[in-house]
Amino acid sequence: MVDRDYISKNNSDFYDFVMTGEVSVCILDPEIYASLCSSDRVVKLSDALGYECGASEDGYGISLSSLAFYEEYSALKVLPEDSVLCILRQNYVGRNSKEQAYSQDRQMLRALIEFKKED
């Protein structure tokens, strides 16, 4: 049996958490990613990275399956390969409202995107 109230509450809690600026770098289900894009919460990767990211199909997010760190670390395989890595817009409140925290989040995003497998 599906507990729709439980699922609805968790979904609402998740969106509240995302919208308050407590997180910046996200790995999201494609449907949730699309919803956040349509509400203008996702930053264009070129704005976050300072260069165009060729691995991105839409300029805003990157499928995990196209990233070397996803291929390198088997623990990440619990996440569906169509999950999307992105960074959310800096907020006016919450953790990512602080420039230092948001700068660190951009650095982490860059590290995940630019990760190279060691030979």
60 pLDDT more than 90:
yes
Domain count, the chain: 1
In a domain, 119, yes or no: no
pLDDT value at residue 27: 95
Query: Can you give the three-state secondary structure of the chain, one letter per residue?
Result: CCCHHHHHHHHHHHHHHHHCCCCCEEEECHHHHHHHHHCCCECCHHHHHCCCCCCCCCCCEEEHHHCHHHHHCHHHHHCCCCCEEEEECCCCCCHHHCHHHHHHHHHHHHHHHHCCCCC
pLDDT value at residue 96: 64
In a domain, 51, yes or no: yes
What's the mean pLDDT in 55-84? 94
Tell me which residue range forms the domain holding 86.
Answer: 4-114
In a domain, 98, yes or no: yes
How much is the mean pLDDT over the chain? 89
